[in-house]
Amino acid sequence: MSILDSHGRKVAISNLEVAFGDRFTPDERERIAKESFQHFARTMLDLLWSPKLTAENFSQYIELENFEETQRYGPERSILIACYHYSNFEWLSLACGWLDLRGTIISQEFKNSLLDPIFKRLREQSGHELIRQQGGIVKLYKVLRRKGRTALLVDLTLHPRMPSVAIDCFGLKTSVTTAHAWLSEQTGAPIIPAHTEPLPNGRYRLVFHPKIDIAAKNYQEVAQACWISFEPYVRKNPAPWLWMYKHWRYKPSGADRPYPFYARPHSRFDKRIAGLPENKPKPTKL
């Protein structure tokens, strides 16, 4: 895949260079970028194969770590899982369904609409309900208020005009969503980060992190805390993360270290970094 997607490969190499500096040689960056493409391809292939998984046999393919973190809240308590594009994030979602963490999840539509019903069927097979992006956050608010469950991918870059905050990611500023922080504040749902790790023989480990302490934290601090819980895993084993994605689309106008070639200054991003305007977005009409 890295051979076919030359631009994605260029993005991945640039991301690795600015994130890790001289920790890796150019050849090692090439290897990690290639492996990142392979992990993503494997995730998509595993999703297509996933109808063979069931509630009875999925534990043969997915082992659990710190699952008890989700159990202390009981079946009547809402939970928000903060996820990342690391290793098999699709099987993370499916496993949560079979672990009685079924929830309502926002689904991004494909440019080719013919793919939407195919992937919707695959992603809902363990009991989740997928909803459209338009009005999705309000729907998730209502779900959590009814003691339901949801999961959000929180490592995507968001335009500074959107409800976002600037966090440190490998020591570089990036713009991410405030949706999980807002939903937790409004509903009291605990935020539990989670990710999967590749294991030998096509298996995975699903790791639940400790709950994020949101007491007295603003949205930026909540988003930062989620990332801090996850970054050590990427530093330890970088390849499973989605390095061909543009994680640093915006850079501070006075950046004191290199950013990827595609990063551009943005006045609103500078204001986010400075804390102006207020991190919290305007109230959403519910």
- The token duo for 87 is 């290793």
Closest CA to 263 of 9, 3, 14: 14
- The token duo for 238 is 């970088």
Residue 130 predicted with pLDDT over 80: yes
User: 18 near 246, Cβ under 8 Å?
Assistant: no
In degrees to the nearest 10, what's the CA dihedral of 48, 52, 56, 59? Answer: -50
Residue 279 predicted with pLDDT over 80: no
Higher pLDDT, 215 or 260: 260
Residue 286 predicted with pLDDT over 80: no
Three-point CA angle 160, 163, 166, nearest 5°: 55
Closest CA to 83 of 192, 157, 198: 192
Q: What is the pLDDT of residues 90-105, one digit of tens each?
A: 999 999 999 999 999 9
Q: What is the pLDDT of residues 18-49, one digit of tens each?
A: 999 999 999 999 999 999 999 999 999 999 99
pLDDT-derived band at 72, boundaries 50, 70, 90: confident
H/E stretch holding 168 reads strand 164-169
User: 87 near 43, Cβ under 8 Å?
Assistant: yes
Residue 169 predicted with pLDDT over 60: yes
Asked whether the whole model's pTM tops 0.75, one would answer yes
Kindly report the backbone phi and psi dihedral angles of residue 163, in degrees, each rounded to the nearest multiple of 5, phi listed first.
-60, 100
Q: What is the pLDDT of residues 196-241, one digit of tens each?
A: 999 999 999 999 999 999 988 999 999 999 999 999 999 999 999 9
Q: Is the dihedral of CA 38, 39, 40, 45 positive or negative?
A: positive
d(CA 167, CA 190) in angstroms, rounded, equals 20
- The token duo for 64 is 């659990």
197: left (phi over 0), alpha (psi -120 to 50) or beta: beta
H/E stretch holding 8 reads helix 6-20
- The token duo for 214 is 């949101």
pLDDT attached to residue 73: 72
Cβ burial of 145 (10 Å; 0-12, 13-18, 19+) is middle
H/E stretch holding 175 reads strand 172-177
Residue 281 predicted with pLDDT over 60: no
3-state secondary structure of 3: coil
Give, in order, the Cα–Cα distances in Å from 240 to each of 34, 71, 84, 234. Answer: 10, 27, 10, 8
